[in-house]
Amino acid sequence: RLASPRPPPAITAPSGGAETRVVGLEIHAQISSNSKLFSGSQVQFAAPPNSLVSFFDASLPGTLPVLNRRCVEAAVMTGLALNCSINKKSLFDRKHYFYADLPAGYQITQQRVPIAVNGSLSYSLCIDNKMSQMVTKTVRIKQIQLEQDSGKSLHDDSRSQTLVDLNRAGVGLMEVVMEPDMCCGEEAAAAVRELQLILQTLGSSQAIMAEGQLRVDANVSVHHPGEPYGVRTEVKNINSIRFLAKAIDYEIQRQIEELENGGTILNETRAFDSKLGCTVPMRDKEGMQDYRFMPEPNLPPLILYDTKSLPANVNHQQVVNIDWIHERLPDLPSAKRAKLVELYGILPEHSFTLVNEDGLTEFFENVLKQTQMKPKKVIGWILNDLLSYLKQHSCTVKESPVSSVLLADLLNLLEKKEISASAAKQVFEELWKGEGKTPLEIVKEKQLQLIEDREELEQICQAVIDEHEKEVMAIKAGNQKIVNKLIGLVQRATQGRSNPVLVKQILEKKLSE
């Protein structure tokens, strides 16, 4: 089996330096399931401590693991979505170490033969922070393995004690290992964001970092181009995608500086301190740990089938069919984006934002259903107006005080030329207050409707012409661009209630007389 070729050395990041930066990721995604990986206790965030602990989770002697089918399906789905080969036979192992939140003294994982291997994930970055140019990159997925989550330890230093909550002990995890094909924080962040979207689309994990459903550890090293890889450090305790990028970039910089000053990099584990914005060595992980891996004797090998290998007289409740899962995979984010671009003629970078924001695509499509305005115009309102208001007020799309119905109404008024674009913006601001008024009501209230009366317009235009002799002369001398200034002045005079196209017409007619 040939390994896929190592991608070319990364472009050096803006901070300069000639070193090649190497970033790999180990991601733990909590499987979205009702019960745990090997026991029937419930999976739930923020439940009272030790209220979701079965006998097996507490490691009571004599209890045995029973594999949760849903967790296997989640891992297969994820493997397929990441272009992996699914291993039809995979094995479970015990990884031994002593820690208060690991009741059995070992974790059940898949060290020898994991459930999926050799995949890839494509993600996109904007060059130069502008949404105008996107570049697509790929990171290889080494493997996906099923394993148990540990419980939680809370260190109470004031009383010199540790409080242990086993609610999380035994919850199913998918560990996704990304090869060191990335070169900076931004790439890692983009890759993780895309993985998050994929997992959420599949439903195999809710992947919310703040709730610990997605945990990312970064492996970082640097070396001179052409020379062998440098010593790598592992960075843990990263709680958001933003911090992921910061932590990696900090660590890269730290290593470069250390080497430039003649120092060496230790093969150690470091924690990211979000307050200080730096990485610090972690105390407990000193020395090399020998995990004394051993096959898990209570679980037979996990056998998966496809349509070809499925035995004839088998109970369908007892088997997992890879092909069946493949057929039912939903559209992945990349497919969704492509469809949006094709269907609506929007730009690729627009599709990224739509898919990136939870519920935004749906909102956009709902507006489209209720308006005649072209998608290319609607998208501007969605991305520039709605989204910026949402961001300013830290709202999610679901929490938006402006519903798709209201926005569609507003856009219809604009499309029918009953109001101007600037008036529409004013109406939007009003709508945002969420007082229950319709766009039409607001327009009437604030008298924002476009002036229909041509005579009135002509009068105003004439007034502007009369007050701005200098500009008129410049126009008549040949400088057509100044007409826009006059249009603007008319707009101001009408408080945005004039149709710029009509105003231009009237002005030009008058000026040519």
CA distance 416 to 420: 10
60 binds other proteins (CB under 8 A): yes
Is residue 225 near other proteins by the rule CB under 8 A? Answer: no
Q: Does 98 bind other proteins (CB under 8 A)?
A: yes
3-state SS of 45-114 is: CCCCCCCCCCCCCCCCCCCCCCCCHHHHHHHHHHHHHCCCEECCEECCEEEECCCCCCCCCEEEECCCCC
Return the residue of 42, 63, 253, 370 that touches other proteins, per CB under 8 A: 63
Q: Is there binding between residue 58 and other proteins (CB under 8 A)? A: yes
Q: Does 16 bind other proteins (CB under 8 A)?
A: no
Q: Which is nearer to other proteins, 302 or 402 (CB)?
A: 302
Number of residues this chain uses to bind other proteins (CB under 8 A):
30
Report the C-alpha gap between 354 and 382 in whole angstroms: 9
Residue 292 touching other proteins (CB under 8 A) = yes
Q: In the set 298, 372, 388, 479, which binds other proteins (CB under 8 A)?
A: 298
Q: Which is nearer to other proteins, 103 or 375 (CB)?
A: 103
Strands 214-223, 20-30: pairing kind = antiparallel
The full length of the chain comes to 513
Does residue 96 belong to the site contacting other proteins (CB under 8 A)? yes
Centre a 10 Å sphere on the Cβ of residue 388 and count the other Cβ atoms it contains: 10
Q: Using the minimum distance from each CB to other proteins, give the nearer residue, 63 or 412.
A: 63
Strands (E), 208-314: 214-223, 233-238, 269-273, 278-281, 294-295, 302-303
Indicate which single residue of 7, 28, 49, 59 sits in contact with other proteins (rule: CB under 8 A).
59
> What is the amino acid identity at position 265?
I
- The answer to the question of residue 106 lying near other proteins (CB under 8 A) is yes
Contact track, other proteins, 125-164, x by CB under 8 A:
-------------------------------------x-x
Burial zone of 231 (CB within 10 Å; 0-12 exposed, 13-18 middle, 19+ buried):
middle
Q: Is 46 in the site for other proteins (CB under 8 A)?
A: no
For other proteins, the closer CB: 302 or 450:
302
Pull the structure tokens for residue 348.
């690729």
Q: For other proteins, give the closer residue by CB, 13 or 58.
A: 58
Binding span for other proteins by CB under 8 A among 54-62, 128-136, 213-221, 427-435? 54-62
Query: Site for other proteins (CB under 8 A): which residue of 297, 311, 436, 478?
Result: 297
Is residue 375 within 8 A of residue 346, CB to CB? The reply is yes
The residues facing 279 across adjacent strands are 272
From candidates 6, 34, 45, 55, binder to other proteins by CB under 8 A? 55
Q: Which is nearer to other proteins, 111 or 253 (CB)?
A: 111
CB of 101 to other proteins, least distance (A): 10
Q: How many CB atoms lie within 10 A of CB 421?
A: 10
Q: Which stretch binds other proteins (CB under 8 A): 51-59, 187-195, 243-251, 455-463?
A: 51-59
Closest approach of other proteins to the CB of residue 161, in Å? 9
Burial of 190 (0-12, 13-18, 19+ CB in 10 A): buried
- Cβ 299 to other proteins shortest distance, Å: 6
Contact 44, 26 (CB under 8 A): no
**CB neighbours of residue 513 within 10 Å:** 5
Residue 305 found at the interface with other proteins (CB under 8 A): no
Residue with Cβ nearer other proteins (4 or 162): 162
293 binds other proteins (CB under 8 A): yes
For residue 441, what are the contacts with CB-CB under 8 A and spacing of at least 6?
none
DSSP 307: T
Question: Which of 157, 227, 290, 513 touches other proteins by CB under 8 A?
Answer: 290
Q: How far is CA 289 from CA 96, 149, 152, 459, in A?
A: 10, 19, 21, 86
Any contact of residue 61 with other proteins (CB under 8 A)?
yes
User: Are 175 and 144 spatial neighbours (Cβ–Cβ below 8 Å)?
Assistant: yes
* Site residues for other proteins per CB under 8 A: 55, 58-67, 94, 96, 98, 100, 103-106, 162, 164, 290, 292-294, 297-300, 318
